[in-house]
Amino acid sequence: MPTSKDVARLAGVSQSTVSYVMSGRRPISEKTRKRVEAAMAQLAFQPNAGARALASRRSQVIGLAIPFVPDLHMGSIMEFISVIAATARQSDYDILLVTDDEGPQGLERVVGQQLVDGLIIMQVEGDDARVPVIRNLPVPSVLIGIPEKHDGLECIDADFELAGAMCVEELAQLGHESVILVDWQDSVVRRHVNYVKRFHRGVDKAAAAVGLKVIHAPGRTTIAAMEKAVTKALEQTNGIPAFIAPEAANQDLLVEALHNLGLVLGEDASVVVNCSDRIAERQRTPLTTIGFEPDEVSRRAVHRIVRDLTDPTSRPHEALELIRPVLKRRKSTIRPRNKR
Partner DNA sequence: GCGCATCGTCGATACGCATCGACAATCCAA
Partner DNA sequence: TTGGATTGTCGATGCGTATCGACGATGCGC
> By the criterion CB under 8 A, which residues form the site for a second copy?
1, 44, 46-54, 59, 61, 64, 66, 68-70, 73-79, 81-82, 85-86, 89, 94-97, 99, 101-102, 106, 109-110, 112-115, 221-224, 252, 256, 259-260, 278, 282-284
Residue nearer to DNA on the CB measure, 138 or 262: 138
Measured in whole angstroms, the distance separating CA 276 from the mean position of its chain's CA atoms is: 13
Q: Is residue 279 near DNA by the rule CB under 7 A? A: no
Residue nearer to a second copy on the CB measure, 94 or 127: 94
- Single out the residue of 25, 278, 282, 340 in contact with DNA (rule: CB under 7 A): 25
The item of a second copy, DNA, none sharing an interface with residue 29, based on CB under 5 to 8 Å by kind, is DNA
Cα dihedral value 13, 36, 25, 45, nearest 10: -110
- The answer to whether the beta carbons of residues 98 and 111 sit under 8 Å apart is no
Q: Is residue 26 near DNA by the rule CB under 7 A? A: yes
Q: Is residue 41 near DNA by the rule CB under 7 A? A: no
- Single out the residue of 14, 173, 260, 338 in contact with DNA (rule: CB under 7 A): 14
Distance CA 287, CA 270 (A): 9
The item of DNA, a second copy, none sharing an interface with residue 15, based on CB under 5 to 8 Å by kind, is DNA
DSSP assigned state of 124: -
How far CA 101 is from CA of 65, 89, 190, 203, in Å, comes to: 11, 26, 21, 35
Residue nearer to a second copy on the CB measure, 117 or 128: 117
Residue nearer to a second copy on the CB measure, 95 or 174: 95
Give least dist CB 114 to a second copy, A. 5
Number of other residues whose CB lies within 10 A of the CB of residue 103: 13
Q: Is residue 47 near DNA by the rule CB under 7 A? A: yes
Residue nearer to DNA on the CB measure, 22 or 214: 22
Number of other residues whose CB lies within 10 A of the CB of residue 139: 19
Distance CA 304, CA 245 (A): 30
Residues whose CB falls within 8 Å of the CB of residue 89, separated by 6 or more in sequence, listed in order: none
DSSP string covering 152-189 = T-EEEEE-HHHHHHHHHHHHHHHT-SEEEEEEEEHHHH
Q: Is residue 173 near DNA by the rule CB under 7 A? A: no
Which stretches of the chain bind DNA, using CB under 7 A? 1, 3-5, 12-17, 19-20, 22-23, 25-29, 31-33, 45-48, 51-52, 54-57
